[in-house]
Amino acid sequence: MKMVDVGAKAKTERVAVARGRVRMSSQALAAVRDRTVEKGDVLAAARVAAIMGAKKTPDLVPLCHPISLSGVEVDLSAGSVGVDIKVTVKTVDRTGVEMEALTAVSAAALTVYDMLKSIDRGMAIESIQLEHKSGGRSGVWTRAEIAQAKLKARRKS
Amino acid sequence: MKMVDVGAKAKTERVAVARGRVRMSSQALAAVRDRTVEKGDVLAAARVAAIMGAKKTPDLVPLCHPISLSGVEVDLSAGSVGVDIKVTVKTVDRTGVEMEALTAVSAAALTVYDMLKSIDRGMAIESIQLEHKSGGRSGVWTRAEIAQAKLKARRKS
Amino acid sequence: MKMVDVGAKAKTERVAVARGRVRMSSQALAAVRDRTVEKGDVLAAARVAAIMGAKKTPDLVPLCHPISLSGVEVDLSAGSVGVDIKVTVKTVDRTGVEMEALTAVSAAALTVYDMLKSIDRGMAIESIQLEHKSGGRSGVWTRAEIAQAKLKARRKS
Amino acid sequence: MKMVDVGAKAKTERVAVARGRVRMSSQALAAVRDRTVEKGDVLAAARVAAIMGAKKTPDLVPLCHPISLSGVEVDLSAGSVGVDIKVTVKTVDRTGVEMEALTAVSAAALTVYDMLKSIDRGMAIESIQLEHKSGGRSGVWTRAEIAQAKLKARRKS
Amino acid sequence: MKMVDVGAKAKTERVAVARGRVRMSSQALAAVRDRTVEKGDVLAAARVAAIMGAKKTPDLVPLCHPISLSGVEVDLSAGSVGVDIKVTVKTVDRTGVEMEALTAVSAAALTVYDMLKSIDRGMAIESIQLEHKSGGRSGVWTRAEIAQAKLKARRKS
Amino acid sequence: MKMVDVGAKAKTERVAVARGRVRMSSQALAAVRDRTVEKGDVLAAARVAAIMGAKKTPDLVPLCHPISLSGVEVDLSAGSVGVDIKVTVKTVDRTGVEMEALTAVSAAALTVYDMLKSIDRGMAIESIQLEHKSGGRSGVWTRAEIAQAKLKARRKS
């Protein structure tokens, strides 16, 4: 087992954007919107959890490199079927920050669940995935473009 | 904001079972099965990450009580569309272990993603949810039963 | 050096209340009140930091026992000369939670400083102290009573 | 909520000096000086806690960047009314180390309190504040100079 | 993989004693004794590291249960060929504290190495082992007795 | 006490290799080889523990600098008298990674002990030591060469 050697890679700016969602009952969603949850403000707690989660990534994910983060931005909102989460992480380092963005989304989702579980135990954490990354040898990757490319390929065949 | 006072609750045996999945390309799934991933054995790393993740729950989820865990069991396997994860957590304490089970599943899912991201960046972490809990004042809760009850209610109406 | 043996003490309910304050310029205080701080909501971030800080106490304070916490409650508000912090911690264990309450206040104070330091670097964290404790062999202790007793003693002499 | 993006800032040498004090009864102070505290050497434990505390800063302060530290120096001594704490932290990075210096002072103060609380529960942690910082865009800041400038301004008016 | 379920075990007092040694050059040993090490007091730093290490055991050892510790006592001294370490850990819980005692010894040994490595890079951490344990279903275990029993068995045969 | 200032040192590639061993009964060693240990795969768990241990070094060793790691490689195998551990750590930073390599070996050794302690409580962690380092002002250091040099010196005298 090994944490892959990245010593020969260049330190460049790298960005990763990840998303996810906690699907919940309309009753739970109303409690988020109306700020009537006993434990406190759900979105505020989840925002802090996301940023602290980004910093804990190498502690949670065994083979992940410990790196400096130059910025983390969190967008959380009550959507139509649950709480929508989006996190952007930046660094200037030898390896990307996909795992930091995904871990931040996971920490926010778990926090949302924790604060609402007395109202709805059946919530589901859904579709935690990378949306976009840039920087590093592999360059830009965007989920939407990949999806379109696949669609085109299918139509042609 | 507050960590709800559970001091008056009884210490009883409490169990929680959570599940989740990392959906991936057939190429990534084959690499898991054939153990050809450069970083090492994907399922072994994710199993350890799940157990260590369960222990880090109060560190990740702001309002979660720090409690002793009496047991954690992890089942990970390569399924038909990705890696399936199931974690059972037990305690004898004043509060349940739903968050520990869900956090363990999340840590395993993030670890699977990390080890395979050089093969498939488009993977998605899906359906992290509680399957079953028992113990404590609220008693037994089972996802399957809830689903059947809803179905019945709909048919009647 | 030793972490004192508390194995022979009884598990009883123990409560500790601590307070502290971040004294700041009127400009910084206005930014807290008007929620115009670039990094986000100062009081919300500090509340979460207080609760997570309570849980990190044995990690920060070398000879402090690692114990379960049954509840943590945080009161933060913009006062007349700065942000006032009050934290109540409860446990049912063999040792008290004074350190958890004081650490929670410290974590909140540091977070307030961090979020406002671009406006006022001259802020001071002041008077972090225990206000009240109960439970355990030493029983109830209250700062106000101690102060009154001292005053009486002085008047008599 | 966001951890502000510092990716465009230059990596330069940055220094921060913070101070604080634990005010205590003469009995408690004598115990520090005479090394008669049951738990062990108070100043030695607090010195280690300060350095480890500096390293835990991003874990305690939610929006603080995780950065490398190039040096930490701790001065602790029994003063006239309590234990005086001074910590100097250095880095070569994109953001300053004020929070690391303040957190280190806080960790030392909490440790002093913990080791002496069986003698004096009424101790207070006082005046944790930045004394000096240099490096980075905002340049040198010194508490004494700021105080003198304010004094001059008042005399003139 | 699993953290074995101990929920059915009784909470009883459990004690574990572990030892170890850092073998070093006479020059390094003299620096410990004369307190001439640049970084500071070697034995004081290692004593604190041992106690904090005991508390970090479930964080370092994947399948180890997170438990409360009721006491930790550390004995460190400069011996004839290096620094000798002995740690006693106590708990009142469902599982033993052998791992906590061994981890505390390891943390102390690593700290001794760290503080002296500029003098002697060839030091070796030796013979970290359990000396004694009591409590729990398996009862008392003592290294010396086991050794004597083996010796007797050999003589008879 | 101080974490020595390394701000003036150059960032260069630095490598450290450390080794250690857990000596055990033939019965315990057979359980490792035959994978019949109840808790799970011993070598897989210890490999993950080694890598996560390397990342926790500044958390365990008080005066150790927190640095980025560019790579960690772990070799674990069942040898003739126990489990043999070798870890290689790399960084591009201002200070070496000897402590990270030694801590990784220690974490692996403790994990091996934990997983086998129900079979053999008398195991010993032996000879955790640096084998090789390169990079930085002090250049290359190799245990074997040092040993040969000492041998030569003795023969001459």
**What tokens appear for B92 in the block?**
């004898």
Chain E residues closer than 8 Å to B58 by CB: none
pLDDT at A147 over 90: no
Is D75 designated active site? no
What pLDDT sits at residue A146? 77
> Which helix (H) or strand (E) element contains residue A152?
helix A143-156
> Which helix (H) or strand (E) element contains residue B73?
strand B71-78
pLDDT at A118 over 90: yes
CATH number at residue F87: 3.30.70.640
Chains in contact with chain A (at least 3 beta-carbon pairs closer than 8 A): B, C, D, F
What pLDDT sits at residue B152? 82
Task: Please state, in angstroms and rounded to a whole number, the distance separating the CA atoms of residues F140 and F54.
Answer: 21
**What DSSP designation does B118 have?**
T
Summary mean pLDDT of chain D: 94
Among B18-22, E112-116, F147-151, the minimum mean pLDDT is found in: F147-151
Task: Please state, in angstroms and rounded to a whole number, the distance separating the CA atoms of residues E41 and D137.
Answer: 37
Task: List, in order, residues 6 or more apart from F84 with CB less than 8 Å away.
Answer: F19, F21, F76, F77, F78
pLDDT at E155 over 90: no
Task: Please state, in angstroms and rounded to a whole number, the distance separating the CA atoms of residues D109 and D104.
Answer: 9
Residue D93, domain member (yes or no):
yes
Does the distance separating the beta carbons of B6 and C70 come in below 8 Å?
Answer: yes
Residue D115 pLDDT level (bands cut at 50, 70, 90): very high
**What DSSP designation does B65 have?**
P
The whole-angstrom distance between C45's CA and the closest CA on chain A is 6
Of the ranges A133-142, B21-30, E1-10, the best mean pLDDT one = B21-30
Give the domain range for residue B34: 12-156
Q: What are the tens digits of pLDDT across the range F92-118?
A: 999 999 999 999 999 999 999 999 999
DSSP letters for A2-26 = EE---TTS--EEEEEEEEEEEE--H
Residue D46, domain member (yes or no):
yes
SS3 of residue D133 by DSSP:
strand
Contact status, residue F51 vs residue F72, Cβ threshold 8 Å: yes
pLDDT at A101 over 80: yes
What pLDDT sits at residue C92? 94
Residue A58, domain member (yes or no):
yes
The whole-angstrom distance between C128's CA and the closest CA on chain D is 5
Q: What are the tens digits of pLDDT across the range E25-74?
A: 999 999 999 999 999 999 999 999 999 999 999 999 999 999 999 999 99
Q: What are the tens digits of pLDDT across the range A91-100?
A: 999 999 999 9
> Which helix (H) or strand (E) element contains residue E104?
helix E98-116
Angle at F76 between CA F71 and CA F82, to 5 degrees: 150
Q: What are the tens digits of pLDDT across the range B41-79?
A: 999 999 999 999 999 999 999 999 999 999 999 999 999
Segment A5-21 mean pLDDT: 95
Chain A residues closer than 8 Å to B115 by CB: 63
Segment F132-137 mean pLDDT: 92
D34, D59, D75, D114: the catalytic one is D114
Task: Please state, in angstroms and rounded to a whole number, the distance separating the CA atoms of residues A49 and B103.
Answer: 13
The number of beta carbons lying within 10 Å of the beta carbon of residue D151 is 10
Residues of B with catalytic annotation? 114
Q: What are the tens digits of pLDDT across the range F26-73?
A: 999 999 999 999 999 999 999 999 999 999 999 999 999 999 999 999
Residue B117, domain member (yes or no):
yes
Residue D69, domain member (yes or no):
yes
What pLDDT sits at residue D155? 80
Residue E124, domain member (yes or no):
yes
Question: Which parts of chain C register pLDDT below 50?
Answer: none
| Higher-confidence position of D73 and F154 | D73
SS3 of residue D69 by DSSP:
coil
Nearest C-alpha neighbor of F107 from the set F32, F50, F44? F50
Residue F155 pLDDT level (bands cut at 50, 70, 90): confident
Contact status, residue A34 vs residue A27, Cβ threshold 8 Å: no
Answer left, alpha or beta for residue E139, where phi above 0 means left and psi between -120 and 50 means alpha.
left
- pLDDT cut 90: percent of chain B above it: 87
**What tokens appear for B138 in the block?**
């609220």
Does the distance separating the beta carbons of B45 and F45 come in below 8 Å?
Answer: no
Task: List, in order, residues 6 or more apart from B137 with CB less than 8 Å away.
Answer: B9
Angle between helices B42-60 and B98-116 (to 10 degrees): 140
Does the distance separating the beta carbons of A48 and C49 come in below 8 Å?
Answer: yes
Residue whose token pair is 């004690």: E15
Summary mean pLDDT of chain F: 94
Q: What are the tens digits of pLDDT across the range D24-42?
A: 999 999 999 999 999 999 9
Does the distance separating the beta carbons of A123 and B64 come in below 8 Å?
Answer: no
What pLDDT sits at residue A90? 97
* Number of domains, chain B: 1
Q: What are the tens digits of pLDDT across the range A49-79?
A: 999 999 999 999 999 999 999 999 999 999 9
What pLDDT sits at residue E11? 92
Does the distance separating the beta carbons of F69 and A68 come in below 8 Å?
Answer: no
**What DSSP designation does E64 have?**
P
Does the distance separating the beta carbons of F47 and A3 come in below 8 Å?
Answer: no
B26, HSE (Cβ side, Cα atoms, 13 Å): 0
Residue F146, domain member (yes or no):
yes
Residue of C39, C47, C48, C112 to mutate, interface with A, max A Cβ within 10 Å: C48
Q: Which ipTM value was assigned to this complex? A: 0.95
Task: Please state, in angstroms and rounded to a whole number, the distance separating the CA atoms of residues B40 and B140.
Answer: 39
Chains in contact with chain D (at least 3 beta-carbon pairs closer than 8 A): A, C, E, F
Q: What is the pTM of this model?
A: 0.96
Residue E3, domain member (yes or no):
no
**What tokens appear for B125 in the block?**
């972490």
Contact status, residue E119 vs residue E27, Cβ threshold 8 Å: yes
